[in-house]
Amino acid sequence: MEHEQAPQLSLPPVLTGQADILRLRRELENLQDYLHQAALRHTPADQLRLPKTSRMLEEFAKLNNLNLMHRPDHETAMTGLNYLSKRAPQLHVGLSADPSSAFAANLVTWIRENIHPHALVQIGLQPNIAAGAMLRTTNKQFDLSLRASFVKHRDILIQQLEKHRQQPAQVAAPTPTPTTEATAIPVQSDGGQAT
């Protein structure tokens, strides 16, 4: 049995999940077909009108210093994407609200820097968690929600609530402010002296 080696490719933050990998593979196949047809027609390089590529493919090629017009670079990209499609660790992050694209990019970048450089992250909605996140891998689930934190620390929470309930409420006396404080205004009598 031959062991596949992990590709030395970097993934841009816009490439997040399995669907993006499949989209890039399809786009690379279309580009390869176009170049193959141009070679069969003996089209000169200066007359080639290349098909429009996505921002994701352009960032992927730029990040990995790949020229997708050259066959070896094209094959490197396809081999790497095929490997990632089969072997890359996949995470699902459930959030209570739809994240901004900047937040999603930061989250993906952090996961790739701290967990695995080829992690594929799918971000979904789980409005029932209110705050925090749910993280699922292929074989584990982590509840990082506020609700789970309250359940985990229930005894401490009850203890603190009981402690504050038993203490008499201390009402602080209002401190006078310049607008509510009475000020004495000296009144002058006939002699010009203040009384």
Q: Does residue 1 register a pLDDT over 50?
A: no
Residue 185 φ/ψ region, left for φ over 0, alpha for ψ in the -120 to 50 degree band, beta for the rest = beta
Q: What's the predicted TM-score (pTM) here?
A: 0.66
Q: Are residues 45 and 74 in the same domain?
A: yes
Q: Does residue 118 register a pLDDT over 50?
A: yes
Task: List strands edge to edge, sheet with 120-125.
Answer: 120-125, 90-95, 132-136, 141-145
Q: What is the total count of domains within the chain?
A: 2
The span from the CA of 181 to the CA of 195, in Å, is: 21
Which of 155, 164, 133 has its CA nearest to residue 146?
Answer: 133
Q: Are residues 70 and 105 in the same domain?
A: no
Query: pLDDT digits over 64-114, tens only?
Result: 898 888 888 888 888 888 888 888 888 888 888 888 888 888 888 998 899
Domain that holds residue 113: 89-161
Q: Are residues 14 and 83 in the same domain?
A: yes
The span from the CA of 116 to the CA of 108, in Å, is: 10
Q: Are residues 56 and 99 in the same domain?
A: no
Q: Does residue 155 register a pLDDT over 50?
A: yes
Residue 37 lies in a domain: yes
